[in-house]
């Protein structure tokens, strides 16, 4: 692709694309598929939270390469997804840096994230510190998940 990646605020019309990105994530295949099978990122969710998308232009126009959702109360990185074909290009790291900037602007000093097991290494690499474990919640999530915290740097 090679074209610049921009991050913009998500709008209601992004909802279907974001839902497809979540449901189609290779990280949630096999035994993890049930966790996102009926998941929906709706326009109401986008309006209620700080949802931002990473967009890259290609011959078909703007393409959503990833997104995140920052919930302010309590402070949590609720969703962070990068399209399978866009992984390994620094988009996740770019989204985390943007999230930390948004968190700082909102006056937050830390942001928690409950990680999907395959994403644990990613969160370590982008500076999150493991602070605990969220216990399984069967039948939808029959496995424990690591909980991380990002310290929001002061400007």
Q: Which H/E stretch holds residue 132? A: strand 129-134
Q: From residue 4, how far is each of 9, 12, 51, 65, 80 by CA, in Å?
A: 17, 23, 20, 12, 20
Of 61, 78, 60, the residue nearest 69 (C-alpha): 78
Please tell me the distance from the alpha carbon of residue 27 to that of residue 35, in angstroms, as a whole number.
Answer: 11
Question: In this structure, what token pair is assigned to residue 104?
Answer: 């700082």
Q: pLDDT of 44-100, one tens digit each?
A: 999 999 999 999 977 667 889 999 999 999 999 999 999 999 999 999 999 999 999
Structure letter (DSSP) for residue 155: -
Q: pLDDT of 126-151, one tens digit each?
A: 999 999 999 998 877 888 999 999 99
Average of pLDDT values for 4-16? 95
Task: Please give the radius of gyration of the chain, using alpha carbons only, rounded to the nearest integer.
Answer: 15
Instruction: Please give the residue that has the higher pLDDT: either 27 or 57.
Output: 27
Supply the pLDDT for residue 1: 44
Global pTM exceeds 0.75: yes
Please tell me the distance from the alpha carbon of residue 33 to that of residue 39, in angstroms, as a whole number.
Answer: 10
Supply the pLDDT for residue 2: 57
Q: 53 forms bridges with which residues in the sheet? A: 8, 67
Structure letter (DSSP) for residue 128: -
């Amino acid at each position: 692709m090679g074209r610049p990646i921009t991050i913009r605020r998500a709008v209601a019309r992004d909802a279907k694309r974001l839902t497809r990105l979540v449901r189609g994530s290779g990280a949630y295949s096999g035994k993890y598929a049930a966790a996102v099978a009926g998941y929906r990122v709706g326009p109401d969710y986008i309006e209620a939270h700080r949802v931002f998308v990473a967009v890259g232009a290609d011959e078909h126009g703007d393409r959503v390469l990833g997104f995140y959702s920052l919930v302010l109360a309590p402070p949590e990185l609720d969703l962070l997804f990068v399209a399978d074909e866009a992984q390994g290009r620094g988009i996740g790291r770019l989204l985390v840096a943007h999230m930390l900037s948004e968190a700082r602007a909102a006056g937050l000093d830390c942001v928690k994230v409950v990680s999907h097991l395959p994403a644990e290494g990613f969160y370590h690499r982008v500076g999150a510190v493991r602070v605990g474990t969220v216990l399984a919640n069967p039948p939808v999530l029959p496995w424990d998940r690591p909980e991380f915290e990002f310290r929001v740097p002061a400007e």
